[in-house]
Structure 1
Amino acid sequence: MQDSLMHESLRGIHYVGNGVAWASGTNGTVLRTEDMGYLWQKCAVPPGAEKLDFRGVQAFDANTAIVMSSGKGDLSRLYKTTDGCATWKLVFTNPDKDGFFDAMTASRTGDTEDILLLGDPVDGAFKVFCRIDDDTHVEECMSGAPANAAEGEGVFAASNSSVIWSSHRTTAFFATGGKDGARIFRMEKSTSGNAPIWKSSPMPMFGIGDSAGIFSLAKRTSDHTTHLIAVGGDYKQPEDAEHNAAYTRDDGLHWLAVASAPHGYRSSVAYDEKLKTWITVGPNGTDVSFDDGRNWQALRPGAMDQAGADRDWNALSLPFVVGPDGRVGILRDAAVGEARKSFDAKSAKDAKVTPR
């Protein structure tokens, strides 16, 4: 556990590398660390953002980051800093009075910064925006087939992880929920120069209802294939340990139900490349998977951990995790190692059992 020196609810977290991480939350809160969280700095509040809820942050280095606020209409905004959060510039405001920003992902290639920004449906279709090259060029992504929404369908802005690119940036995905069930939307880039097309897949592995669906997506790449995990559940029933996870091993073409699920509603999931482990968090605990999402087991505090260090979390950017009331934690690798020993022992035992 780390001390953020504040008590706002945190939902955005992005670890850049080399000890640099950024976090964001309610009431215009943005935090930054350059030493793996030994000291968290409270950033200047962006102009006019004192009451905004920054649900997402995407950073490029210790000086440059973009924060996304979520709210109806013009309360959904993007701000950017290039001087280590001493000052901020408003770069985009939601143009739809009924719109609502849910999540964004950003990347940098050379001097080019790209953003994929996802919003709730307006006039029956999900809003997807792109930014290319500069601070002012933000526009709705052109698509040959819009991402049409069902009645009551929406995106959950729980952890800024409901939209992602595939590892090779040829495909984008976002996840939904609602009274008719969850779906995964997959954007396929055209190789013939035509506009990309959105295709959706129903996800019956997840529950149905206004508070149920998919809350987070994460990826890893192996042999030029993107492996994806989807987690969620019903945030009004956080103890429900069913209908909360699925996985795919073929770039999102076919989704599979898990064999053993996480132990409750989960708001965020991530892959730890160093530990070769998937990790998912939520209000009632943390779970890990060592077999690409097929089986999940609880990751509980050990003798070296603070009581409750596994719970009350909103969002992941490993090794960091954030939650309500200014909660910030950093993953203890040895805890995952202990869980892996237990998984390996059980797998070895099961392998010795010969069915009649």
Structure 2
Amino acid sequence: MTGAMWLAALLALGSADLRWTPQKSGTSVRLRGVSAVDAQVAWASGDQGTFVRTTDGGQTWKAGTVPGASALDFRDVDAFSATTAYLLSIGEGDKSRIYKTVDGGETWTLQFTNTTPGAFFDGMAFWDDRHGIAFSDPVTGRFVAVRTSDGGAHWTPLPPEAFPPALPGEAGFAASGTSIAVLSPQRVWFGMGGAAARVLASRDEGRHWTVATTPLAKGEGAGVFSLLFWSDQQGIAVGGNHQRPEDPTGNVALTRDGGRTWTVPTGARPAGYRSCVTRIPGAPGPTLVTVGPSGSELSTDGGKSWTSLGPEGFHAVAASRVGNRVWAVGETGRIALLHRVRPPRGP
């Protein structure tokens, strides 16, 4: 089935006719990041320095380990082709790193190692294959972020004075590497939690920032875990409290003004804490998929209402930029493709 046919089937049938079809990842480690390029190429990342890649739509996945990184947890992957991808590992001090491959994972270049005491990087995002940004938990009351304009050869710290002050106890989440979102040409947002579920926004690649409070859950283990914008005005934040995975309190909010204000949708919401959200390009609505450890949901109206895709848990989800494929990843090397269930043949 072509990407266009698959999308048409999805929109016509709805979530009751969609299922997650398992695929063999070639690894048993926890997978926390996924990036889909097209209908054939996707990458995923996880614990113990692991990455996996498919070039045939998931029929086969090849797992590998970045040399010298077996102690690292790769929470974020951003892929641009079958050969080019970036990985971000999390952790305090020099555990926060960014690697890049240009040969399909045969070799990796360590591009960035955190040297800021107390920093803990949570995610990265790219406007294109050369321009990207990554952010950390606040340090001594100030936000920390780095930016590249040369494909990661150099990562330059953003000046602390560009940001509003951080709140005491405010922190980011690296659950899926998607609590940061970008939109061409220069828009960027990242979400926070803890003391408040806030979203920071910049219109100029991070030179200046504003901040807004969302109605998502706040407190220990709670806040904004994933952000997505499909226009400079319209976007969604998902999250909740990861310590209560089946609690739907404060797990989704929408914006219609670029992140200046956020509202709770009035329709059916996801069934619990959600760690990642993605949009299927080209679909009306827009059509969104969100996942968490207690299940996943589909929305065909831009997040206003949601229907269940089942109770199987995942940590991250990504739709391909072209080809309309949706992959999700999770525990013990779990990878699944969102797939149409064919009705049984008649007698």
TM range (shorter): 0.7 to 0.9
Decide whether the 8 Å contact of 1:268 with 1:314 is kept in 2. Answer: yes
Alignment-derived partner of residue 322 in structure 2: none
TM-score, structure 2 length as denominator? 0.85
2:278 maps to which of 270, 274, 292: 270
Alignment-derived partner of residue 202 in structure 1: 213
List, as ranges, runs of 4+ consecutive aligned residues in structure 1 with deviation greater than 6 Å.
Answer: none
Decide whether the 8 Å contact of 1:64 with 1:80 is kept in 2. Answer: yes
Decide whether the 8 Å contact of 1:234 with 1:240 is kept in 2. Answer: yes
Task: Give how far 1:249 is off.
Answer: 2.0
After superposition, give the CA deviation of every residue in 1:317-352 in whole Å (9 maximum; x if it has no partner).
1211100110001111469xxxxxxxxxxxxxxxxx
Alignment-derived partner of residue 100 in structure 2: 80
Question: Is 138-147 or 313-322 further displaced after alignment?
Answer: 138-147
SS across alignment from 2:44:
strand
Are 2:319 and 1:287 aligned?
no
The CA distance in 1 between the partners of 2:174 and 2:154, in whole Å, is 24
Q: Which has the higher contact order (CA 8 A, sep 6+)?
A: 2
Amino acid at match of 2:63: K
Q: Aligned pair in 2 of structure 1 residues 16, 240: CA closer, same or farther (>3 Å)?
A: same
Are 2:165 and 1:148 aligned?
yes
2:308 maps to which of 292, 298, 312: 298
| Alignment gaps of 5+ in structure 1 | 301-309, 336-356
The CA distance in 2 between the partners of 1:326 and 1:206, in whole Å, is 29
2:242 maps to which of 235, 238, 244: 235
Task: Give how far 1:66 is off.
Answer: 1.0
Size of the aligned set, in residue pairs, is: 312
The CA distance in 2 between the partners of 1:202 and 1:107, in whole Å, is 25
| Residues 123-202 of structure 1: pairs in structure 2 closer than 5 A | 123-142=140-159, 145-166=162-183, 168-178=184-194, 180-189=195-204, 196-202=207-213
Q: Aligned pair in 2 of structure 1 residues 331, 48: CA closer, same or farther (>3 Å)?
A: same
Amino acid at match of 2:189: F
SS across alignment from 1:74:
helix
Task: Give how far 1:197 is off.
Answer: 1.8
Amino acid at match of 2:193: G
After superposition, give the CA deviation of every residue in 1:233-252 in whole Å (9 maximum; x if it has no partner).
01111111221100012222
Q: Highest CA radius of gyration, 1 or 2?
A: 1
Are 2:20 and 1:23 aligned?
no
The CA distance in 2 between the partners of 1:253 and 1:103, in whole Å, is 22
| Residues 242-261 of structure 1: pairs in structure 2 closer than 5 A | 242-259=249-266, 260-261=268-269
The CA distance in 2 between the partners of 1:202 and 1:154, in whole Å, is 14
Amino acid at match of 1:189: D
1:121 maps to which of 138, 157, 160: 138
The CA distance in 2 between the partners of 1:264 and 1:296, in whole Å, is 12
Question: Is 288-297 or 121-130 further displaced after alignment?
Answer: 288-297
Amino acid at match of 1:269: V
SS across alignment from 1:69:
strand
Task: Give how far 1:274 is off.
Answer: 4.3
Decide whether the 8 Å contact of 1:216 with 1:230 is kept in 2. Answer: yes
Decide whether the 8 Å contact of 1:143 with 1:196 is kept in 2. Answer: no
The CA distance in 2 between the partners of 1:334 and 1:297, in whole Å, is 16
Are 2:230 and 1:212 aligned?
no
Alignment-derived partner of residue 311 in structure 1: 312
Task: Give how far 1:89 is off.
Answer: 1.1
Alignment-derived partner of residue 324 in structure 1: 331
Alignment-derived partner of residue 62 in structure 1: 82
Decide whether the 8 Å contact of 1:143 with 1:198 is kept in 2. Answer: no
Percentage of pairs with the same residue: 38
The CA distance in 2 between the partners of 1:189 and 1:80, in whole Å, is 25
**RMSD between superposed Cα atoms in Å:** 1.8
Q: Aligned pair in 2 of structure 1 residues 76, 35: CA closer, same or farther (>3 Å)?
A: same
| Alignment gaps of 5+ in structure 2 | 1-21, 320-325, 343-347
